[in-house]
Amino acid sequence: MTPQKRKDWLKTGVLVGLFVIVMNWQSLSERARGAVDYDRSVAGPVTLFSTEWCGYCKKTRYFLNQHDIPFRERDIEASTAAMDAFRRLGGSGVPVVQVGDKVVHGYSLARLRTALECPSCERTKTASGDANGR
């Protein structure tokens, strides 16, 4: 192999490596952030409104399972009740995740993590003794 071909292969390898990193950046950064500090009694129950074919729903499902977060899944194409609830939440695309009274529209692990960790709920709990203000 000539030196020029070797350089071309090296450049191609570097570009492919960078492409893989960029395409997986969100999941790589999510791994670096560690576990989600989810407390159902503080943040509330989790419901995932999804469809069977949605790739982002699959990614959301995977995230919740990886962090051992119990959730109820409602397929909006298989159930009119699920579709009605989805619409009441302002859903226009999937996934939609409801965490207690908070709603995350679309696929965003950062927003989902914020809703699950419920920092404002935790401040309320710490300041007043519990989440109900008692």
CA-wise closest residue to 75 among 104, 109, 48, 106: 48
Q: What is the pLDDT along the chain (134 residues), one digit of tens a residue?
A: 788 888 888 888 888 888 877 766 656 555 555 677 788 888 899 999 999 999 999 999 999 998 889 999 999 999 999 999 999 999 999 999 999 999 999 999 989 999 998 655 544 333 334 433 33
Q: Hey, where are the domains in the chain?
A: 37-128
Which two tokens mark 86?
């989805």
Q: Which CATH architecture has domain 37-128?
A: 3-Layer(aba) Sandwich (3.40)
